[in-house]
Chains A and B, each alone.
Chain A
Amino acid sequence: QVHLVESGGGVVQPGRSLRLSCATSGFTFSSYALHWVRQAPGKGLEWVAVISYDGANKYYPESVKGRFTISRDNSEDTLYLQINSLRVEDTAVYYCARGGDTWNDAAFIWGQGTMVTVSS
């Protein structure tokens, strides 16, 4: 059974950094693209990053480009999201999701999410 479990969230001051992790199991990690999607409290879904199966391709929206870095460790079956210069508007639940075999595919299976609160 496929599982994705996010961790690393918490309460952080503006301007600080945070690294989120997504531990996975139940599938061949190195064969799939992976996504991060966030959801601010009471708001809709915002896609924030995708990484190809081999880590060669990474894409972000302009709203986070330069502050967010997606990475993966195919030897540990783990996905990461490094968030720098945190802003109040980064407050959200962050979900990781397994995509297909290419970066331009739907988000098929989702984790339960980890909450990030940016507040002084």
Chain B
Amino acid sequence: DIVMTQSPDSLAVSLGERATINCKSSQSVLYSPNNKNYLGWYQQKPGHPPKLLIYWASTRESGVPDRFSGSGSGTHFTLTISSLQPEDVAVYYCQQYYTPPHTFGRGTKLEIK
């Protein structure tokens, strides 16, 4: 199975500041024939289901604010929130869907400093 390792486990950032969450996969999730990274980022707020933010490592889902961006390729990926807003307090997960099982990272809890 592909192991997804997120860092940090938790993060406190001041409002308006940048938040960066990292995700590393134990093997590459880049499929060379289509040059796509099979990596998604999800946001989960307490008491709610997860919400897809980013897919193909860097494609923002419709309706997601442009302060959210994804980057990286192969085995190293980053979710960046450029200017933290109060509504961004949540747990963030990365997931690979390159090969089953479609494993998730353990999550990063983001709080306001």
Contact = CB atoms under 8 A, between A and B. Distances in A.
Interface of A: 35, 37, 44-47, 50, 59-62, 95, 103-113
Interface of B: 1, 38, 40, 42, 44, 49-52, 55-56, 61, 91, 93, 95, 97-107
Contacts, number: 66
Contact of B102 (A50, A110, A111, A113): A50
A62 B102 CA distance: 12
B25 to A, nearest CB: 14
B49 A104 contact: no
Nearest to B56: A106
Contacts of B102: 35, 47, 50, 104
Contacts of B93: 44-45
26 contacts: A44-B91, A44-B93, A44-B106, A45-B50, A45-B93, A45-B104, A47-B95, A47-B101, A47-B103, A60-B100, A60-B101, A61-B103, A62-B1, A95-B50, A104-B97, A104-B98, A104-B100, A105-B55, A105-B97, A106-B52, A107-B40, A107-B42, A107-B52, A108-B52, A110-B52, A113-B49
